[in-house]
Amino acid sequence: MHCPNCGNESSLDQKFCRQCGFNLAPVSKLLAGGNDDDASLTKSEHERLLVRRMFRWLSWGCVILFAGIILLVFNKGFIHEAMFQTIATLFMLTGVALATYGCLSSLSKGTYLPEKTSKDTREINQSNTTNELPEARVPISAPSVTERTTQLIGEQSQNRER
């Protein structure tokens, strides 16, 4: 496999390109043919979807609850006051039920993450091992930034002593 960013050759088990640092994990997944959308959700993406779903249910519940409160407040001018009180009560109960369902459903689904398949566990086991750099690519220690300054100070102090 070649890095899509710089063209450097790398193996399928590498997560990042050694030349430019490009993330190779999605590329190697595509080449390996493992394109499962459900299994590819990370924990943060899963939590973000659950929170979005919870707020959607809460929003609808609050809108329906607010509609019930408005019906309850304005029912004094209507002819059938008892019927509007019943409808307003049903609206308010439905709004509270929707909001509660949204919270409890998201909380119960948030504690459960889909189980990893054997392919996913194999990828996790392979990712725990670190590949060593070849001998030719071992970095050479660079001289200290202050080393030259220290040498110049030493030369100046010797020149002053003379």
Q: What is the pLDDT along the chain (162 residues), one digit of tens a residue?
A: 778 778 788 777 778 888 788 888 887 777 766 545 445 567 778 888 888 888 998 999 999 999 988 888 887 766 677 788 888 889 999 999 998 988 888 888 775 545 554 555 555 555 556 666 566 666 667 767 677 777 788 787 777 776
Q: Is residue 146 part of a domain?
A: no
77 and 107 Cβ atoms separated by less than 8 Å: no
pTM of the predicted model as reported, rounded to 2 decimal places: 0.43
Q: Is residue 65 part of a domain?
A: yes
Q: Is residue 10 part of a domain?
A: yes
Question: Range of 11's domain?
Answer: 1-34
Looking at the structure, tell me whether residues 23 and 71 fall in a common domain: no
Phi-psi region at 4: left, alpha or beta (left = phi > 0; alpha = psi -120 to 50) = alpha
Q: Is residue 52 part of a domain?
A: yes
Looking at the structure, tell me whether residues 47 and 71 fall in a common domain: yes
Looking at the structure, tell me whether residues 6 and 56 fall in a common domain: no
Looking at the structure, tell me whether residues 53 and 27 fall in a common domain: no
CA atoms within 13 A on the CB side of 30: 7
Phi, psi of 36 (to 5 degrees): -85, 120
